[in-house]
Amino acid sequence: MHRTTMDLWVGLFVIAGIGALLILALKVGNLGTYSEAQSYTLIGYFENVGGLKIRAPVKSAGVVVGRVKDIQFSTKTFDAAVTMKIDNRYQFPKDTFASILTSGLLGAQYIGLAAGGDEGMLKSGDKIMKTNSALVLEEMIGRFLFDKASEDGDGGDGGTF
């Protein structure tokens, strides 16, 4: 095998390999639409995060604005501290409401941000004051059964679910 032919093939191979990596990163992994470098951090305390996972999307009006960075149990307040990375392009008012929602009936859980009307904006490291926990299926069913039972028992002064 002649030296230059070999160099040519090796060059083609390396370019093909790096090209494949780039395709995987850009076309498949969707790198570039969201980057951690240009983001800021928000923390929200939830009574119950349910099945929320690290890397779950943070959405506002259905648009992905960030991702869940970390979930920890806080021993001070005895609830879950969720750290979110939010894209710098999206700023939210101080009285933004964060709730844990489920996509579809059994889908993965995500954090939904509903913007409030405050003039001041949340800054990096700020705490989201208003949160709403995840709906846990067992609790829902339990409450439903309890309501149903009390309804049957005393003629129905319990609120409907």
Which stretches of the chain bind another protein, using CB under 8 A? 1, 6-7, 9-10, 12-14, 16-21, 23-25, 27-31, 33, 53-55, 64
What is the DSSP track for 66-112?
Answer: EEEEEEEEETTTTEEEEEEEEETT---BTT-EEEEEESTTT--EEEE
Least separation in angstroms between residue 9's CB and another protein is: 5
Q: Looking at beta carbons only, is 99 or 103 nearer to another protein?
A: 103
Enumerate the β-bridge partners of residue 131.
98
Q: Looking at beta carbons only, is 24 or 141 nearer to another protein?
A: 24
Q: Looking at beta carbons only, is 107 or 116 nearer to another protein?
A: 107
Least separation in angstroms between residue 24's CB and another protein is: 5
**Quick check: 122 and 94 in contact, CB under 8 A?**
yes
Q: Looking at beta carbons only, is 103 or 133 nearer to another protein?
A: 103
Q: Looking at beta carbons only, is 30 or 75 nearer to another protein?
A: 30
Least separation in angstroms between residue 119's CB and another protein is: 34
Cα–Cα dist 132/112, whole Å: 10
Cα–Cα dist 148/159, whole Å: 10
Least separation in angstroms between residue 65's CB and another protein is: 14
- Terminal-residue alpha carbon distance, the chain: 79
- The two three-digit tokens of residue 22, written as one number: 């780039």
Least separation in angstroms between residue 13's CB and another protein is: 5
Cα–Cα dist 20/6, whole Å: 21
